[in-house]
Amino acid sequence: MTGVSQPNGPAGQDSRLLLDVRNLEIDLAAHGRVAPILSGVSFTIARGSITGLFGESGCGKTTLAQSLFRLLPPRFRVRGSVRLAGRELLSLAERPLEAVRGASMALVFQDPLLALNPLLRAGDQVAEVLRAHRRPSTAADVAALLELAGLGPAALRIARAWPHQLSGGERQRVAIAQALACHPPLIVADEPFSALDTTLVAALTALFRRLRDELGASFLLISHSPGVLARTADQVLVMERGRIVESGPPRQVFHHPAHPYTAALLRDVPRLPLPGEGPPHAA
Ligand SMILES: Nc1ncnc2c1ncn2[C@@H]1O[C@H](COP(=O)(O)OP(=O)(O)OP(=O)(O)O)[C@@H](O)[C@H]1O
Ligand SMILES: [Mg+2]
């Protein structure tokens, strides 16, 4: 299953292993100083599994997500190893990297306005992801993806809308539709539900679980909500100031936290659902 810093075994190949992040170190050079943002981050994601990333604001979750796609500007110095299905991404040339982005590994940005082009209608942005990877991109394909991402009967109207005409929650779902477009084996979703109400969060976490179970898709799901992660994730990584301080199944991490930081973060959360428990009362 999933694990943290587990060796590959002598053969070095494990067909269940999808993402292998080793000793990721990220420093930020600014104003003549270098500040550490991530330190010694190592974890693995198995095929067909959901990994939650949990930690307080500013601990480095978005930096980690963007580094996997090599989207950080040059003032961020990135060292270590990121292997997707055995292939090192940190040293990959730009052309093959572009083929990976969106098709093998997709990112749902924390701020969907950053992901959406203000000059393109929502449907065209989804179609563009498909076209970039030479997939069919008819209006029906796009509407089906928007519907899958929880836009339901509004999908056709949303497809024709400009990003500024959409609500924050609608933009989040357009960004999710873009990520799902090419059925990538790995989706990294950075706070994808923060603008959504609880019934939509429940529907989309159910969708993620279905894609995991039926298609073997994997997710790195970044969330401030232990409730969302407890219902969705197979393993949870807890990050404190750029380090992973604890990891394990949500039942263990959230109900019997080993690290005082995790316990402190959970102190204000009323009662956490156990995995498989019904719809959320508070996300
Ligand atoms: N462009 C930037 N310039 C300067 N510092 C940055 C930049 N981006 C991130 N940082 C710093 O890096 C650290 C990690 O930020 P990051 O955005 O990864 O946190 P996060 O865990 O995603 O937080 P949140 O939960 O609020 O989204 C923070 O201290 C932040 O101030
Ligand atoms: Mg963030």
pLDDT value of position 113: 80
Q: Atom 31 of ligand 1 has which residue's CA nearest to it?
A: 58
Query: Which protein residue has the closest C-alpha to ligand 1 atom 25?
Result: 57
Question: Ligand 1 pocket, 62 CB below 6 A?
Answer: yes
Mean pLDDT of the chain: 90
pLDDT, average across residues 15-39: 95
In the predicted model, is pLDDT for residue 36 greater than 80? yes
The number of the ligand nearest the C-alpha atom of 58 reads 1
Q: Does 28 contact ligand 1 (Cβ within 6 A)?
A: yes
The listed CATH number (3.40.1280.10, 3.30.2130.10, 3.40.1350.10, 3.40.50.300) that belongs to domain 1-104+186-283: 3.40.50.300
Q: For residue 246, is pLDDT > 90?
A: yes
> Using an 8 Å Cβ cutoff, are 217 and 189 in contact?
no
Question: Residue 174: is its pLDDT beyond 70?
Answer: yes
Mean pLDDT throughout 234-246?
A: 97
Mean pLDDT, to the nearest integer, of 195-217? 91
Read off the pLDDT of residues 86-143 as tens digits, 9 standing for 90 and up: 999 999 999 999 999 999 999 999 888 888 999 999 999 999 999 999 898 999 999 9
For ligand 1, whether the C-beta of 59 sits within 6 Å is: yes
Question: Does residue 7 have a pLDDT over 50?
Answer: no
| Structure confidence at residue 276 as a pLDDT band (50, 70, 90) | low
Q: What is the pTM of this model?
A: 0.89
Q: Where are the domains of the chain?
A: 1-104+186-283, 112-183
